Amino acid sequence: MTLDAILVRTQARGRWSGILHQLVPALDPAQERPGRHAPCPVHGGADGFRLFRDVNDTGGGICNTCGAFPDGFALLMWLTGWRFPSVLEAVASALGLTEAVRVRPPLAVRPVSPGSERSLEACRQALQTTWRETCAPSDPVAWPLWRYMESRGIRDTLAWLDQRVVRCHPHLAYYEEGRCVGHYPAMVARVADPHGQAVTLHRTYLARNGLWKAPVVSPKKLMTPLAPLTGGAIRLASVGAELGVAEGIETALAARRLSGQPVWAAVSATLLEKFEPPTRIRRVTIWADLDRSEAGEKAAAALQERLTQAGIETRIRVPNGPIPMDRKGVDWADVAQSGQHRHRAA
C-alpha cells in the first residue's frame, strides 16, 4: 500500500498527543506538561527537552542540544533515527490508516553516544565545511544579507558584525525530512558555550532576493552541536561589566542600536532562560520578545530570577504592545523598524 503523506499529515493534526503516547511512551513526562521542560528522551538529564504547547496539533518539540523539530514526523525521525517513509508508516498505523491495522510495539528511541569520536568528528567536519564556504558580511556576495537587514530596519548594524562570529553563505543547502529541497543564501553565526568555545552554527535561511526569510518550514536551524548548548549564546560583541541578551540575532542587533549596549543572542526562549553570562558581568539587560504565548517574558523572568540570586543586577525590557492581529509577537527589530522606541520594564 502506498501511503498518502498529505492524508496522514491531515489525519494526524489534533491527534498527535495520542500518537506520540502510543509510539513513544518515553515522551509521556513531557506530555504531562506541554511547553515545560522535562527529561530528554535521547540525552537524559532532568530538563533538556520540551514539547510545544500546541503539541496535539503539531507533534513538535525542542531538544536543548539538538534544536527544534517542527512537527511530529521530524520529532519521530530524530527519536528513532528512521527515515521519513518508515515514520510515515508508523504514524499511519497508529491512526488506523493502513490496510492491515496491527498493534505496533512502542518505537525504540535511538541510542546516542555524544562522546563517540566518530560522531564528534563528523559533526566537526560538517561545521568546518559550512563555515569555510561563508564570506564576510562586507563581501559584495553577501548582498542578500544586506537586503535582509535593511528589511528589518537594521542595515546600519552590519558594521558591528564580527566576521569571526557572523558570516553569509551565498548558496546553502536546505534539508527537510533528510532530503535537500533547495539552496538559499543564509546568515551563519557561531554559537559559543558559556566558556566561549564554539559548539555549533546557527543558520537563518533567506529568500533569494534577500527581502525576507526563505519560504521554508524552518528558516532558522541549528547544526548538530559538538557539546550541549545550555548556557551559551551568539557573542555578537565584546563586553565589559555590562551585557544585554536577547533571543535572536536581529533582535540583539536592534537592541544594541537602540541602547548602545553590547547585546548577545541566546538563539531561542528556551536557551535564553538557561543563559550563563561571563563571570566578569555585573549588570544584564534582558531584551525580551513580546509574544502572545508569553514565552519570551516567562523565559526572561526565569533568567532574571536566577541571575539576581547570583548577585547580578538584572532588568527586563519588553516592547510595548499591542501585538498586530496577524502576528504572533513583537521583537526589538520590529521596534527599530517602526522607529517607535517605546518599551516597558517587566
Residue pLDDT, tens place only, 123-163: 788 899 999 999 999 999 999 999 999 988 888 888 888 88
Q: For the residues of 173-204, what is the DSSP string, one character each? A: EEEETTEEEEEEEEEEEEEE-TTS-EEEEEEE
The residue that leads in pLDDT, 319 or 179, is 319
Mean pLDDT to the nearest integer, 301-312: 93
User: In this structure, what C-alpha cell is assigned to residue 118?
Assistant: 566518530
Distance CA 272, CA 238 (A): 19
Q: Rounded mean pLDDT of 273-284?
A: 92
- CATH number 3.40.1360.10 is the correct assignment for the domain at 242-345: yes
Residues 43-67 as b or e (16 or more Cβ within 10 Å = b): eeeeebbbbbeebbbbbbbbbbbbb
CA–CA separation, 275 and 147 (whole Å): 30
Integer Cα distance of 322 and 158 in angstroms: 29
Q: Which tops the pLDDT comparison, 96 or 44?
A: 96
Pair 223, 189: CB distance under 8 Å: no
Residue 109 vs residue 141, higher pLDDT: 141
Which pLDDT band, with edges at 50, 70 and 90, does 112 fall under?
Answer: low
Contacts of 300 (CB under 8 A, 6+ apart): 272, 273, 286, 288, 316, 318, 346
Quickly state the pLDDT bin for 115 (edges 50, 70, 90).
very low
CA dihedral of 85, 90, 92, 96, whole degrees rounded to 10? 160
Task: Please report how many Cα atoms fall inside a 13 Å half-sphere around the Cα of residue 270, on the Cβ side.
Answer: 20
Domain residue ranges in the chain: 5-95, 120-222, 242-345
What band does 191 get if pLDDT is binned at 50, 70 and 90? very high
User: For residue 49, what is the DSSP state?
Assistant: E
Is the model's pLDDT at 296 over the cut of 90? no
Amino acid at 276: E
- Phi/psi for 185 (5° steps) reads -65, 155
Encode pLDDT of 159-176 as tens digits: 888 889 999 999 999 987
What does pTM read for this prediction? 0.68
**pLDDT, tens digit (0-9, with 9 covering 90-100), for 198-234:** 999 999 999 999 999 999 888 998 887 887 788 899 9
pLDDT reading at 340 higher than 80: no
**Residue written as grid cell 513583537:** 330
pLDDT in tens, 248-271: 999 999 999 989 999 999 998 888
Higher pLDDT, 284 or 151: 284
